[in-house]
Structure 1
Amino acid sequence: MPSPPWRDRKRERRRAAPARRPLDYDQIVDAALAVLDAEGVDAMSMRRVAQQLGTGAASLYAHVQNKEELVDAVIERILSDVEIPAPTGDWREDFVRIAYVTRDALGAHRDAAKALWGRVPTGPNAIRLADHVYGMLRRLGLPDQLVAWAGPLLFDYITTDAYEGSLYSATFGDENGTIKYFESLSQYFASLPHERFPNVVELAGTLTTGGGEERFAFGLDVLLTGLKAKASEALGDGSGDS
């Protein structure tokens, strides 16, 4: 049957359309995290997150002021997954464990670690984590000024490693792709003129050995050994590492 000419189609569509659920803060953060995981932190704009939610960017501004605040919210959400391990009684083991759980939380979300570069997160979960690490450093015997510098140093190392891992994944796809890259890099180093680059040529095989886990553990050990030595100097016991 043809529609009668007096039929108001627009009004009928409005009546038939289900009421849209009002946006809330958690929905926005969930959507931003989904965009980050799928497309990376650079794609996580207000417009793109709004698109993920099926709305306009203006709808987001009632909850977050701009992209910077949105990034802060996502970082805070990611750091909420960091469960601080119970102390073991071994200061080095405790540092290693907190380093790994933090790196794992960042590494679980594509290039989330990139968002921490040039940014000091100030949400409750970030401060909870920082406060815990500062407490560990003070108990180690570091003076407060060195505690203030050592905490960011440790977090920078963790963040950099997590971000580098995300770049390898994006570039080479999987572990086999990364291995092939370093194998070819080793061959390239070995092919260089020995008279110009003797050390690189002679170390060609060694320079590319060790996977990401081994290198992360090595770097962490170097940092912790140095911090313990600094603590010993401050305490004047000359004991070095223990």
Structure 2
Amino acid sequence: MTVSYFVRNCYGPGVEKSAGSSQGRRRLTRERVLTAAVGVADAGGIGALTIRSLAQELGAKPMSVYYHVANKDAILDGIVDVVFSEIELPSPGGDWRSELRRRAASARQVLRRHRWAIGLMESRTTPGPATLRHHDAVIATLRAAGFSLEMTAHAYALIDSYTYGFALQEAGLPFEGPDTVAPVADSIMEQFAAGDYPHLVEMATGYYFKTSYDFADEFDFGLNLILNGLSNSLHPGNDS
């Protein structure tokens, strides 16, 4: 789902001319404003997103932007909802582990595109329709699997803590992909004697350097442990 498609369908066209615009100039809509806001945040981080920078991105006056979003909080509400709209929804009718695995993988990929969103996803007190629809679908999937309300709360918190935490750590790593691990590790180890931190050196030389290690692969490993553990809470003794 594209950003523009989501905004248009959830919020309506809301088409109005920007102040002082000519007949041939593109008109401002809530869709355009939120799409541009996501672009500004993607390019410069959430700190770069202001009414002034957004107006500049749109080629409009700040007062024209205020017609579609009342303030900075309204912009944040809107762009967080846009991000939620990009995450694949789980289906309560499918295998719950497969559905939640697919949803978590999708969330991670979306957060890689919008790294500024990691700390904002659960911060809004006036969530939009995509946010609410997303949470409802996850809860429905867990409930359909047979989890009690209490275990649904535990499972949801555990999966999201892992997903957001992994995305946060991944965004902060000084390397990306297996080809960059060894050079970064080499430069770090040059700063100390091997005997100072023997276990760290053993891990780097005995595993990272020899296996084309890719931190991204750890996501599936950890997620499978979580899903298997939750499955065991439903069916004690089942280690599948």
Shorter chain as normaliser: what TM range? 0.7 to 0.9
Alignment of 1:194-205 (within 5 A): 199-200=199-200, 202-205=202-205
The alpha-carbon distance between structure 1 residues 144 and 85, as it changes in their structure 2 partners (threshold 3 A), is closer
For structure 1, the 5+ residue unaligned runs are 1-16, 233-237
Letter in 2 for 1:97: R
Q: Percent same amino acid among aligned pairs?
A: 32
Q: Which residue of 1 aligns with 2:59?
A: 54
- Pick which of 115-124 and 64-73 moved more: 115-124
Letter in 2 for 1:18: S
Question: Quick check: 1:221 aligned with 2:221?
Answer: no
Equivalent pair of 2:118/2:168 in contact (CA under 8 Å)? yes
Equivalent pair of 1:36/1:43 in contact (CA under 8 Å)? yes
Question: Quick check: 1:156 aligned with 2:156?
Answer: no
Q: Please report how far the alpha carbon of residue 34 of structure 1 lies from its aligned counterpart in structure 2 after TM superposition.
A: 1.4
- 1-side partners of 2:185 and 2:149: how far apart? 41
Q: Which residue of 2 aligns with 1:83?
A: 88
- 2-side partners of 1:51 and 1:211: how far apart? 40
- Pick which of 202-211 and 105-114 moved more: 202-211
CA RMSD of aligned residues (A): 3.3
- 2-side partners of 1:138 and 1:183: how far apart? 48
Q: Please report how far the alpha carbon of residue 28 of structure 1 lies from its aligned counterpart in structure 2 after TM superposition.
A: 0.6
Once the two structures are superposed, what CA deviation does each residue of 1:156-189 show, in whole Å capped at 9, x if it has no partner? 3222323333334xx5577644552245446768
- 2-side partners of 1:175 and 1:78: how far apart? 28
Q: Please report how far the alpha carbon of residue 29 of structure 1 lies from its aligned counterpart in structure 2 after TM superposition.
A: 0.5
The alpha-carbon distance between structure 1 residues 48 and 211, as it changes in their structure 2 partners (threshold 3 A), is same
The alpha-carbon distance between structure 1 residues 173 and 224, as it changes in their structure 2 partners (threshold 3 A), is closer
Once the two structures are superposed, what CA deviation does each residue of 1:188-240 show, in whole Å capped at 9, x if it has no partner? 687252xxx565455444685742331111111122122223334xxxxx324
Query: How many corresponding residue pairs?
Result: 216
Q: Which residue of 2 aligns with 1:71?
A: 76
Alignment of 1:25-36 (within 5 A): 25-36=30-41
Q: Which residue, 235, 239, 242 being the options, matches 2:237?
A: 239
Q: Please report how far the alpha carbon of residue 49 of structure 1 lies from its aligned counterpart in structure 2 after TM superposition.
A: 0.8
- 2-side partners of 1:29 and 1:158: how far apart? 25
Once the two structures are superposed, what CA deviation does each residue of 1:98-136 show, in whole Å capped at 9, x if it has no partner? 111222222223433243264577222122222222122
For structure 2, the 5+ residue unaligned runs are 1-20
- 1-side partners of 2:178 and 2:126: how far apart? 31
Letter in 2 for 1:181: V
- 2-side partners of 1:227 and 1:89: how far apart? 16
**SS of residue matched to 2:220:** helix
Q: Which residue, 152, 169, 180 being the options, matches 2:183?
A: 180
The alpha-carbon distance between structure 1 residues 128 and 143, as it changes in their structure 2 partners (threshold 3 A), is same
TM-score normalised by the chain length of structure 1? 0.72
Equivalent pair of 1:116/1:159 in contact (CA under 8 Å)? no
TM-score normalised by the chain length of structure 2? 0.72
The alpha-carbon distance between structure 1 residues 45 and 207, as it changes in their structure 2 partners (threshold 3 A), is farther
**SS of residue matched to 1:228:** helix
The alpha-carbon distance between structure 1 residues 46 and 220, as it changes in their structure 2 partners (threshold 3 A), is same
**SS of residue matched to 1:116:** coil
The alpha-carbon distance between structure 1 residues 142 and 199, as it changes in their structure 2 partners (threshold 3 A), is farther
The alpha-carbon distance between structure 1 residues 190 and 115, as it changes in their structure 2 partners (threshold 3 A), is farther
- 2-side partners of 1:110 and 1:165: how far apart? 10
Q: Which residue, 142, 145, 150 being the options, matches 2:147?
A: 142
Question: Quick check: 1:131 aligned with 2:136?
Answer: yes
